[in-house]
Amino acid sequence: MAEETKPGRLAITLRWCLAGFSAGAGIRLALAAIQTVEGRPQVVAQLLISGLLPFAALFIGAVVFGKRLDRFGLLQERNVVAQERLAENLGMLAGKDDKRAQEQDILLGFLARNSVATLKAINEVRSEIRAGAPK
């Protein structure tokens, strides 16, 4: 099984700080864009013509897709580990079932021999009773 490495406390803190800073910067940038568009509506047309707006949308989409792809990779890795554990557990269950079937075969063989011996004894008793009974 693969060993999982967990990030340290500092790495987690830095990640959260960076995410918070990025979110704050994104909100501030969105507010500035809204204020600019409200003041001068022709800016949107100029951005579309220059190709900056589609490029920005493509860049943001690539970043979001990259994050999702990383999460998908981690999810797939966990899925593989879970399937390996399931296969191991099923192998152990199959081994237990084989052992149980072997024990049942031994027990059934013992019971069959005892049944044959009991039937033979019953037949002998019947023969003795018939031989000793008056006709």
Q: For every one of its 135 residues, what pLDDT tens digit does the chain have, with 9 covering 90 and above? A: 445 567 788 888 888 888 888 888 888 888 887 888 788 878 777 777 777 777 778 888 888 888 888 888 888 999 999 999 999 998 888 888 888 888 888 999 999 999 999 999 999 999 888 887 655
37: region left, alpha or beta (phi > 0 left; psi from -120 to 50 alpha): alpha
pLDDT for position 85: 94
**Domain for residue 30, yes or no?**
yes
**Domain for residue 5, yes or no?**
no
**Domain for residue 64, yes or no?**
no
**Domain for residue 125, yes or no?**
no
Q: Which amino acid is present at 121?
A: A
User: What is the distance between the alpha carbons of residues 112 and 120, in angstroms, rounded to a whole number?
Assistant: 12
**Domain for residue 69, yes or no?**
no
Q: Name all contacts of 86-95 with Cβ < 8 Å and 24+ positions apart.
A: none
**Domain for residue 74, yes or no?**
no
pLDDT for position 83: 93
**Domain for residue 72, yes or no?**
no
Cβ-contact 81, 2 below 8 angstroms: yes
Reference 76, options 2, 6, 5, 11; nearest CA is 2
How many domains does the chain contain in total?
Answer: 1
Q: Which two tokens stand for residue 124?
A: 């002998």
pLDDT for position 8: 82
Can you say whether the dihedral through the CA atoms of 30, 35, 38, 41 is positive or negative? negative
Reference 1, options 62, 58, 77, 111; nearest CA is 77
Residues in the chain: 135
Q: What residues make up the domain containing 24?
A: 12-49
pLDDT for position 1: 45
Residue 134 CB neighbours (<10 A):
3
**Domain for residue 34, yes or no?**
yes
Residue 115, judged by CB atoms within 10 A of its CB (0-12, 13-18, 19+), counts as exposed
